[in-house]
Amino acid sequence: MNSNIAIVCSGGDASGMNPALKRFVEYSYAKGLNPYFVRNGYEGLIDNLITPATYQDVSGIITRGGTKIGSARSLRFKEASYRTIAADNLRSHGIDKLIVLGGDGSFRGMERFYHETGIAFCGIPSTIDNDINGTDYCLGVDTALGVIRNAIDQIRDTASSFRRAFVIETMGRNCGYLALISAITSGAEMCLIPELPIDIHEFSGCYRSQIQKGRDYFIAIVSEALNSREVSEWFENELGFESRVSVLGHIQRGGSPSVYDRLMAYKFVTYAIDALLEGNSHSVICYNKSHFNFKTIDEVALHPHQLDPELLTLAREQFLPSHCQM
């Protein structure tokens, strides 16, 4: 008798989830497994929104952002009584293996769920913030960076047509990865992230010198953890530059998945299913230095995420006031 396996998306959506669902169905069948979808995240586990998945369910979804099966943040799943209901629902479908697309909070919940119920799981890091400890890459990041790149390039057209400073706010919670990579690759003049405290007043002399030498607009990329409005006001009050704030918001989560995110989705899911079949019962599949590896939930969730030191070195060389080109 074939074993039953399910997949669930938890927390914020990320482009790459739909390619992961497609690979999940196809590879499950290839491995003699019966695939199931859990709709609407952990809420769906509790509400028994668990259905068999077919080839038809994933036909054509590889080009779509978001997740076809929905996602959610579940407060109920934090309570033991609701986790018991979720386990009973899975057992009623004969499901003893679960793949979780989500972040460290989702993985912590699933770790507790595993120890209470014995239902095996494998986590796949999936968040555009790229803020999960233990992995260099999370599903959805490349697509989000592409969306941000397009937005910055278009805003630059307007910035260069007027004598203006544009402050562009990216997502990322308390992680500056999206802001930093976008600033470096878009040629921004300023980048402000939590990991690199900067007093913007120290830029005054340098920027005035640049203005005298012909600079007639500025692009500043700011992480959402900081205050974009204050930066905009500084450009106006300190440099006399008319300034605008563009908060990119949730457009960063959507969009057709990039080639890289589609490829990573296929690889993540393949490793996850193979791991569960090999008896790896409660781990997270991570990606480090171009290799996949498995880590325990403690390694992932109990340590703060830190930006790559090489990226921080680039940031210091490019964006610290002391390195500002006069």
Strand duo 190-192 + 34-38: pairing? unpaired
Asked if 14 and 140 touch (Cβ cutoff 8 Å), the reply is yes
Question: For residue 304, how many other CB atoms are within 10 A of its CB?
Answer: 8
Tokens of 71: 């996602």
What's the rounded Cα separation, in Å, for the pair 326 and 322?
10
Q: Which of 13, 129, 131, 142 is catalytic?
A: 129
Beta bridge partners of 91: none
Asked if 73 and 41 touch (Cβ cutoff 8 Å), the reply is yes
Residue 76: which of 101, 42, 115, 120 has the closest Cα? 42
What's the rounded Cα separation, in Å, for the pair 229 and 127?
26
104 is catalytic: no
Task: Provide the 3-class DSSP secondary structure of residue 310.
Answer: helix
Active site residues: 129
